[in-house]
Structure 1
Amino acid sequence: MDRARRRVGQTKRHLLGGDDSSRRVIEETSYYKRHYVDRDAPVHWRRVSLELRGESLCETIYEKSDEGIAKITINRPERRNAFTPRTILELICCLEDAKEDARVAAIILAGSGTEAFCSGGDQGVRDVGGYVGKDGVPRLNFLDLQVVLRRIPKPVIAMVAGHAVGGGHIIHMLCDMTVSADNAIYGQTGPKVGSFDAGWGCSVMARLIGPKKAKEMWFLCKLYTAQEAYEMGLVNKVVPLAELEKETVHWCRQMLANSPLALSILKASMNAVDDGHAGVQQLGGFATKMFYSHEQGLEGLTAFKAKRKPDFDQFRK
């Protein structure tokens, strides 16, 4: 019986992150010391100027650090960072820039202020055909943002303070990981305002927390605390609000020490399960890129340029 209790205790500590003594044991290992990343090192952001359709960014803030982290902030605090079609276009623009910048290895997605990460679509500009932009055209380009978040070959961490509800809740779920402040609130409110997301907003949620809990969240439109979200598997870690950016940057720095190609393929592999042929296509693309640098791929290219028959027999084993 005592042995069984010890086993249960060990399992519990493993699942909950361990107690202080077990953490000290980990920190004394050579692996930990070799790969230690300073949690308290300051981060220095510089503002990045981008133009979208001839105009500067006005609903987002885009920043980068010299160490390889990009931070994209939804900047509509007066509307609890609710998004408009312009907001979505700017987010996509920033994500595409971060994707193409070889110096960027990790991306943080945040909301301006401490009251809201994102409260979803701005209902003030919603019409029968979607969300109406300044050009008067109704759009649902939020779906385009979802595709970009799933397919961008770099890890994206949601840094959540305050409300992440509605479409904002879906954004954080589609990010690869979520670091949450202890003041965060999570939930879906769509059915109360005549809206819903029957795509990834349902399937990814059901994958994260299970169908029963996902139906509870959608059907009842309940809101959940950060701790409740953590316990159901919606977020990776909960920290005090004052520690939120430090912890999120720390996670990014740990990823900076890892193989970027490995992280890209791991992300594509995990997403391929839910993304069908599109997911397999992305995973296949990574395999093609790797093959280009393989000796067989190089033999084919070299033979073509030299106008000779490729010698693949040398590789048959």
Structure 2
Amino acid sequence: MSAERMRPDARPIDERLVRRLVDGRFPRWAELPVERFPSGGTVNAMYRLGDDMVVRLPLVEGGAADVAAERRWLPRLAPLLPVAVPEVLGAGEAAEGFPWPWSVYRWLPGEIPEAGALSDPEALATDLAGFVAAMRGVALPGAPGAHRGGPLATLDAATRSAVEELRGIPEEDVDCDALTAVWQDALDAPAWDGPPVWLHADLMPGNLLVADGRLTAVIDFGCAGVGDPACDLFPAWNLLPAAAREVFRERLGVDGATWRRGRGRTLSQALIALPYYRKTNPAMADNARHVIRAVLAERERSRQASARPV
């Protein structure tokens, strides 16, 4: 199902609209073909423009602010990061009945990594840790708060509501009591008491590009800003297998409390996504299931380890 139909507030977009927008704003690209690029994204639509560019347009009003944020911060972040990030080539504005700004980016080649099908998970874990560490080391002034950078408790009501919704979907067959225990453990972890750090804040597999198993680019910086470093631990559970997860943790030097908060944040996102997208966005729903399995398996390994005699 197309992204345009996943949310009731999504703006309808098609090739004809994108063609008119491009021709009106950038007549020099009027001869280049426009073709919709399939994506599991729920906030933006993407259309290839020729071979070397992509048009990215908000599907919902909330995505419009991301356009301005990326235009401001991507040029500043790019030279500080170890992999490629989107480069804005053209700034489009509202026109043709489309109410929000949009952008043209340079096309970044690569494949989206798939959990369970990584060719070199530990190398990818090292690359991801390098990216996260580089983000944390950014010292650009005037940073906004990251979309997911605030206290974990702000997610409590939505997370518990999602757990109860999953209880009513027996075909998903999840251990809701165990998931609630993991979530409570995250809430009980000490809060971050250091200075806020720069975060991408949306390190889903769909926002990563790889080639030959290695990280080559990170895209979609609409949620970026400063906050709790636990927010950028998502790949540990939404992508990496257990051994590579430990490599990721060791490379970043993550303390126990931050790890627990990071696991809770990743789980919360999965729990909320699964009932919402299970019938409309297979990629999002499958990744949510992967996160749930990974978190429960990690919990079971921890329980078994603590039960062994010393």
TM-score (norm 2): 0.27
Structure having the larger proportion of residues in strand: 1
TM-score (norm 1): 0.27
Determine which structure has greater relative contact order: mean sequence separation of CA pairs < 8 Å that are 6+ residues apart, divided by chain length. Answer: 2
